[in-house]
């Protein structure tokens, strides 16, 4: 059979309009919710934010939710609330967005990278164990692509060594681990509501915890370290105290209301994401050059990313050419992630290549395909056609 000429080499692209790996969906209801919030007397520090925090608690089963200005802010204050400070070591994955490890650096701590599992791409509890030293204070796991990390193993390990477990759940709102909701599983969990994530508030984030004292610490750190309530003390009505060095990490009420409106569709989004993942898996399974995402038995995943892995031995092109060929078909993939310690800034801190071979080899071979609920069936079919076309062209 004649192979279809790739758009990369002058053939006709599978589609005319570019499609990206992720995109928000903003409905008329979302716009109405934001407009109504803008008409309210308070557009920040109003009652709306508190209401949405209660919704996140109900959704996740966490005792406390604190909304803030971004997922990065959430990680920063979660690490601060965990007591991370100068010289403390925090074990985390290199297969993440740099913000995960940066949050440790903000506090003068040192990120220590432990390698990932080759199947789920999540941090490997055995590798974590090997990195524990007397200076270790916490572990930050990332739920890569939406799939919860090995939280039972990590929790047990953290408990037995007196470490705090933080879960960077920027990808995994709506996912379940052994039937329990993400947000209720680690000591502290953080969400991101950036537009590329499952639900958005524009920019925004949240910290979830069952520990009321940690929640109070996070809340205070998001508001300059200011305290306003003094039970049992007779204080003047204007009185407040700054008791720690905090930040302005507040979310606005109109962002919170955008999130509220989006959360109404979380289950619908989850189903659509799962449906697209199943359609992709079925379409790509016959190709020995492609490895579809692995799903752990313990997880019911609200997929954030669809990560396809290339098998270099089965292809007569490198990943860069494969990527360029998909782009030329107007299917724009992405690569998640460059190992954090490869970045020049981390190299300047003394980190070197080779430390986590699984993460490095995953980085060399993965591609994220378009996955978001606003994709039409045609978008899904175009994606499949483009991937098949490029795979068939280069397969050995
Ligand atoms: C998006 C993301 C963050 C940062 O969230 P922001 O809201 O963009 O600050 C942190 N960690 C991971 C794994 C992410 O994907």
pLDDT single digits (tens) 169-202: 999 999 999 999 999 999 999 999 999 999 999 9
18, 197, 388, 389: which is the annotated catalytic residue? Answer: 197
pLDDT single digits (tens) 253-263: 999 999 999 99
Contact 170, 336 (CB under 8 A): no
| pLDDT over 60 at 1, yes or no | no
**CA–CA dist 169, 142 (Å, integer):** 6
The position carrying tokens 């007591």 is 83
Question: Does 194 contact ligand 1 (Cβ within 6 A)?
Answer: yes
- Indicate the pTM of the whole model: 0.97
The position carrying tokens 């692509």 is 145
pLDDT single digits (tens) 333-343: 999 999 999 99
**Which residues, in sequence order, are CB contacts of 311 under 8 Å at separation 6+?**
288, 289, 290, 291, 365
Question: Does 167 contact ligand 1 (Cβ within 6 A)?
Answer: no
The pLDDT-based confidence of 33 (bands split at 50, 70, 90) is: very high
**CA–CA dist 208, 71 (Å, integer):** 12
pLDDT single digits (tens) 79-115: 999 999 999 999 999 999 999 999 999 999 999 999 9
Residue 337: is the preceding peptide bond cis (ω within 30°)? yes
The pLDDT-based confidence of 232 (bands split at 50, 70, 90) is: very high
Question: Does 154 contact ligand 1 (Cβ within 6 A)?
Answer: no
Question: How confident is the model at residue 215, as a pLDDT?
Answer: 98
| pLDDT over 70 at 370, yes or no | yes
| pLDDT over 80 at 315, yes or no | yes
Residues in the chain, overall count: 396
Residue 50 annotated as catalytic? no
The pLDDT-based confidence of 3 (bands split at 50, 70, 90) is: confident
- What is the Å distance from ligand 1's center to 231 Cα? 36
Instruction: Take atom 7 of ligand 1 and give the residue whose Cα is closest.
Output: 71
* pLDDT mean over 139-144: 98
Question: How confident is the model at residue 2, as a pLDDT?
Answer: 63
Question: Does 142 contact ligand 1 (Cβ within 6 A)?
Answer: yes
* pLDDT mean over 371-378: 96
Question: How confident is the model at residue 4, as a pLDDT?
Answer: 87
| pLDDT over 60 at 395, yes or no | yes
**CA–CA dist 379, 381 (Å, integer):** 5
- Residue-averaged pLDDT of the chain: 97
* pLDDT mean over 342-351: 98
- What is the Å distance from ligand 1's center to 169 Cα? 9
The pLDDT-based confidence of 31 (bands split at 50, 70, 90) is: very high
């Amino acid at each position: 059979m004649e192979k279809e000429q790739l758009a990369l080499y002058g053939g006709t692209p599978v589609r005319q309009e570019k499609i990206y790996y992720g995109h928000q969906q903003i409905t008329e209801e979302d716009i109405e919710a934001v407009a109504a919030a803008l008409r309210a007397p308070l557009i920040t520090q109003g009652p709306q934010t508190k209401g949405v925090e209660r919704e996140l608690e109900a959704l996740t089963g966490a005792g406390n939710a604190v909304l803030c200005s971004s997922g990065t802010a959430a990680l920063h204050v979660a690490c601060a609330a965990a007591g991370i400070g100068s010289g403390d070591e925090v074990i985390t994955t290199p297969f993440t967005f740099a913000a995960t490890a940066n949050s440790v650096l903000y506090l003068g701590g040192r990120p220590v990278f432990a390698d990932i599992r080759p199947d789920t791409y999540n941090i490997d509890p055995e590798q974590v164990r090997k990195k524990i030293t007397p200076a270790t204070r916490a572990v930050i796991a990332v739920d890569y692509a939406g799939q919860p990390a090995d939280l039972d193993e990590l929790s047990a390990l953290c408990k037995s060594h007196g470490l705090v477990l933080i879960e960077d759940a920027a990808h995994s709102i709506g996912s379940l681990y052994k039937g329990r909701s993400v947000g209720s599983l680690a000591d502290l969990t953080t969400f991101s509501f950036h537009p590329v994530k499952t639900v958005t508030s524009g920019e925004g984030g949240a910290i979830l915890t069952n520990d009321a004292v940690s929640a109070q610490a996070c809340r205070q750190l998001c508001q300059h370290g200011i305290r306003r309530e003094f039970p049992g003390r007779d204080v003047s009505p204007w009185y407040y105290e700054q008791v720690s060095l905090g930040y302005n990490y507040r979310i606005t009420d109109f962002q919170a209301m955008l999130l509220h409106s989006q959360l109404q569709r979380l289950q619908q989004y989850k189903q659509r994401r799962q449906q697209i993942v199943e359609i992709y898996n079925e379409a790509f399974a016959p190709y020995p050059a492609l490895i579809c995402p692995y799903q752990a038995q313990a997880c019911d995943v609200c997929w954030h990313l669809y990560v396809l892995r290339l098998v270099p031995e089965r292809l007569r092109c490198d990943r860069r050419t494969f990527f360029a060929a998909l782009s030329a078909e107007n299917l724009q993939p992405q690569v998640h992630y460059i190992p954090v310690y490869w970045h020049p800034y981390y190299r300047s801190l003394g980190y070197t290549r080779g430390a986590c071979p699984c993460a490095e080899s995953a980085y060399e071979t993965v591609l994220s395909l378009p996955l978001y609920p606003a994709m039409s069936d045609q978008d899904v079919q175009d994606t499949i056609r483009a991937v098949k076309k490029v795979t068939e062209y280069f397969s050995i």
